[in-house]
Amino acid sequence: MPALSPTMEEGNIVKWLKKEGETVNAGDPLCEIETDKAVITMESSDDGILAKILVEEGSKNIRLGSLIALLVEEGQDWKQVEIPADCSDPSSLAPPALVLTSTPAGPSVSTPPKMEHQPGKLQVRLSPAARNILETHGLDPSNITPSGPRGIFTKEDALKLLQEKQKGKSSELKPVVSPAPPQPTAIPSASQAAAVTSAYLRPALPPVSTPGQPAALGTFTEIPASNIRRVIAKRLTESKTTIPHAYAAADCDIDAILKLRKEWAKDDIKVSVNDFIIKATAVTLKQMPDVNVTWNGEAFRQLQSIDISIAVATDRGLITPIIKDVAAKGIKEIAATAKALTKKARDGKLLPEEYQGGSFSISNLGMFGVSDFTAVINPPQTCILAVGRARPELKIVEDEEGNEKLQQHQLMTVTLSSDGRVVDDELASKFLKTLKANLENPIQLALC
């Protein structure tokens, strides 16, 4: 399993493009792999014959460096290829989501399951820190009453249990016998659950719904997260907990943009408001290079090229393909590039170099009717622009004779999220002021 992106730790085999026994040349596509960013085609680095596929299609969470196939030189008997002993069982490379172990000869202390449903036994809710301590030291949480809110077994409870074990009180702990594979059974009724003797003061979470049976009231179905969504969750958490976000917003009059789009449409030139926003942002970054920076944890880097990431929602999650060197492109070229990258993103066909890097991000939710919102910075970038919908508002203006009158305008709110370590409030305010001026003068943008 190769590393197809810098942040990739494991991958899923989506589809094999070659069969066992087929001749393979260097550069031929071997299989499609889902990484933490997209579905990427893995190419062969050598000539030969695909002798054995060790990891079948649909296998998930294959760790980097795991053997997924064997290639032999032409002329060798590919049917007699020797499979390495540690890779003969493909399941060892991609452990399933739930591993059931057989009952051992004698009782042994085992790690508690996260939320495994056992009929007749209520579950305990564990905090992440408590679960880690319990699994590391093989402790049974049912020996003490949880002290957390709503019956949650906390880190302090786990440390107390560990302290008792270290003081020689491990004899008081009840051994947990590894259960045999559970048989399908009906979810216990409320009366049966009430009759179960429990050491907890509060009821635990309801059981997972049983496949093939109607869902009982209060049950849930656990849906595994894809590689992409796990990475998104990790990076969002890192961003919000490590970057001091600062926010500033401005209302932009886009009447001139809408008028220019209408005129261009007569000549069959189709561009979106978002294309103007991308161009205006690039021009503003060129005028204010102090905002076109990234932060590496110790220092910031001022980038020469203005590469703008555009947020695209896909079935697999959010991904940000990059339009390179935007300041040097015209609006028509930006529109064509954005359209092509958006399609590749939704088809899962982006190449690593098409979504890695970037100096500034734009997220537009205007097409969903959102008036304004704040976005999360995509590190190592230091800014992201959140764009809302266009909305009509009345505004007092003066006519040619100097008389005041009410006139309707289309306003759009843009909100800048900036890293306070690099882009301070004054710089962010100046950026928005310049961006607003550029958006309200689209003719000048078209000439840049």
Q: What is the pLDDT along the chain (448 residues), one digit of tens a residue?
A: 888 877 777 888 988 998 888 888 888 888 988 887 778 888 888 888 888 888 888 888 888 888 899 888 887 888 877 777 655 444 444 443 333 333 344 444 433 434 433 444 446 777 777 777 887 777 888 777 888 766 778 878 888 888 887 776 444 444 444 444 444 444 444 444 444 444 444 445 555 556 666 666 667 888 888 778 888 888 899 999 999 999 999 999 999 999 999 999 999 999 999 999 999 999 999 999 999 999 988 888 999 999 999 999 988 888 999 999 999 999 999 999 999 999 999 988 888 889 888 999 999 999 999 999 999 999 999 999 999 999 999 988 888 888 888 889 999 999 999 999 999 999 999 999 999 999 999 988 877 7
In sequence order, what E strands does 48-186 have? 48-53, 62-63, 69-72, 125-126, 152-153
> Which residue in 281, 348, 403 sits closest to 33, CA to CA?
348
Q: Look-up: residue for tokens 């957390």?
A: 148
pLDDT at 218: 67
User: Helix 273-287 crosses helix 255-266 at what angle (to 10 degrees)?
Assistant: 120
pLDDT at 192: 46
pTM (whole model) above 0.85: no
The answer to whether the beta carbons of residues 24 and 50 sit under 8 Å apart is yes
pLDDT at 90: 43
The answer to whether the beta carbons of residues 417 and 384 sit under 8 Å apart is yes
The answer to whether the beta carbons of residues 446 and 439 sit under 8 Å apart is no
User: Helix 331-347 crosses helix 273-287 at what angle (to 10 degrees)?
Assistant: 110
DSSP three-state, residue 341 = helix
**Cα torsion at 237, 238, 244, 247 (round to 10°)?**
-50
pLDDT at 245: 96
**Cα torsion at 409, 376, 281, 437 (round to 10°)?**
40
* Structure tokens, 31: 């299989």
CA distances from 130 to 143, 171, 206 (A): 14, 21, 20
pLDDT at 198: 42
Residue partners of 339: CB distance under 8 A and separation at least 6? none
Question: What letter does residue 183 receive in the DSSP assignment?
Answer: P
pLDDT at 284: 96
| Chain mean position to CA 15 | 22
Written as one letter, the residue type at 241 is T
pLDDT at 232: 85
Which H helix or E strand runs over 284? helix 273-287
Phi and psi torsions of 314, nearest 5° = -125, 175
pLDDT at 132: 75
pLDDT at 288: 96
Question: How far is Cα 99 from Cα 95, in angstroms, rounded to an integer?
Answer: 8
